[in-house]
Amino acid sequence: MDLGLKGAKVLVTGGTKGIGRAIAETFAAEGADVGICARNAAEVATMVASLQSQDKVAYGAAVDVSDGPALKAWVADMAETLGGIDVVVANVSALSIGPDEDSWQRSFSTDMMGTVRLVDAAMPYLEKSAAPAIVTISSVSGREVDFAAGPYGTFKAAIIHYTQGLAFQLAGKGIRANSVSPGNTYFEGGVWNMIKDGNPELYAASLALNPTGRMGTPQEMANAAVFLASRAASFITGANLVVDGALTRGVQF
């Protein structure tokens, strides 16, 4: 299937590791021009160099998405560099699950406001695009209560609500908005890698909950995000695509 992404101008936050990296790589493989950001400048440079070495159009910068002015400036710079913006993917999370106030604040500033500010900054460019799309990365923790209940789960749920609101509000402008809710996703250096090494009991219990007998991969999550952003999904908006291998039991109507 031709996803119709060749030449699309795409921004991905948190594009150097795990799901975000796989999303950026998949867009590039589809022929899109990609701009990424993450907090670590060296990792951004390495990721951009990797894509460019494959003859892909890629740019990036070190940005903390909880810093509103810095995020807005990065979006404007990428829009100028890429020649517009067609797609934004809000992927960054503070991964804060503690009950303390600081964890709540980090989750709000990074997960929630990092998403809202990305969309707000990109909106003038999306309005000029012929095929504009917004994809937000939520989590199955936003659908049901699990060990990450608290700031992480709460704001992941809020992101789904926010995204579906965008879909309704922006439909008249032709701007689509969808979310992806990954299940447990394993990759080297990721949170489940750390849990496997540091809390093997929790890892084993979490793995046992999935009837597939495994966790997902970043590529499997990226496939969903890139499809939702593509022209192939032109009549899909306001959806929350759960990619969890039947981990969750809640029925979506």
Cα–Cα distance for residue pair 64/50, rounded to 1 Å: 22
Residue tagged active-site, from 59, 125, 152, 186: 152
Catalytic residue selected from 138, 141, 181, 206? 138
Please confirm, yes or no, whether 109 is among the known catalytic residues: no
Answer yes or no: 139 catalytic. yes
CA-angle at 71, arms to 90 and 162, nearest 5°? 40
Among 107, 109, 129, 139, the one annotated catalytic = 139
From 107, 184, 182, select the one nearest 147 (Cα to Cα): 184
Catalytic residue among 156, 162, 179, 230: 156
Cα gap 85→33, rounded to integer Å: 10
**Do 10 and 26 form a contact (C-beta atoms < 8 A)?**
no
Active site annotation includes 156: yes
Which residue reads 């500033």 in tokens?
A: 109
Geometric angle at alpha carbon 147, from 149 and 240, rounded to 5°: 60
Residues near 198 by Cβ (< 8 Å), separated by ≥ 6? none
Q: Report, as residue numbers or ranges, the catalytic residues.
A: 138-139, 152, 156
